[in-house]
Amino acid sequence: MEFEEMQVIWDSQHEREMYAIDVDAMHREIKRKARKVERDISLNEIGLMVVCVFTSLELLSDPVLEQTDYHQIFGSVVMLSVAAWMLMKRLARLKMRSQFDSTLTGDLDRAIAESKAQLTLGRTFHLWFLLPAASIMLVSILAESENQSPGIILGLCFCIALALGVVHLGIRWKQVPEQRNLQALRDTLTKQG
């Protein structure tokens, strides 16, 4: 609801139109938006944790099973550390969720806080994910320098640039407008009293 269910009321004392909103409909809409924000950030968190754990296991397979490529243990530990960091961030976010009341403004404030957390996660993606991934690639390139072709290195650089671009587009076209809309709704409700 973007105020479609507002009713116009005539204020005879000030001789002007006033608006009344259906608070229950507004609260349902805010809860819907809050669920969407929570679902999006949960999918990001869980998806990245799964990717990191599977990547860690894949990197660990050669050193453990074939007793070769011991440099991959470094990458396995780094990816497992990223997964653990993401789990800690998720648990902190879930704890933060419980601090908000289940009221119209409480649900809206929770959605705003989670939207900000998602935006921060996206804006720092290069630090907590791409930098560790690039360090793994660098160790791999240095350890296997005789087997690396320039095409592989360029391909890895392209993948890093693509990941940055996708995250940046998501921030610009989805997360920032969502954050603005939620904050504008909060500002409107606060002004209205």
For the chain, domain boundaries: 24-192
Q: What is the DSSP string of 58-120?
A: HHHHIIIIIS--TTHHHHHHHHHHHHHHHHHHHHHHHHHHTTS-SSHHHHHHHHHHHHHHHHH
Mean pLDDT value across the chain: 87
Strands 16-20 and 7-11: antiparallel
Model confidence pLDDT, tens digit, residues 151-163: 888 888 898 999 9
pTM score of the predicted model: 0.81
**127 touches 62 (CB < 8 A):** no
- The pLDDT-based confidence of 10 (bands split at 50, 70, 90) is very low
d(CA 56, CA 69): 14
Q: Using CB atoms within 10 A of its CB, is residue 163 exposed (0-12), middle (13-18) or buried (19+)? A: middle
> Is residue 125's pLDDT more than 60?
yes
> Is residue 147's pLDDT more than 90?
no
Query: pLDDT value at position 117?
Result: 93
Query: pLDDT value at position 180?
Result: 95
Location of structure tokens 């440099």: 71
Task: Take residue 160 and report the two structure tokens written for it.
Answer: 């890093």
When mean pLDDT is compared across 3-7, 22-26, 98-102, 180-184, the lowest value belongs to 3-7
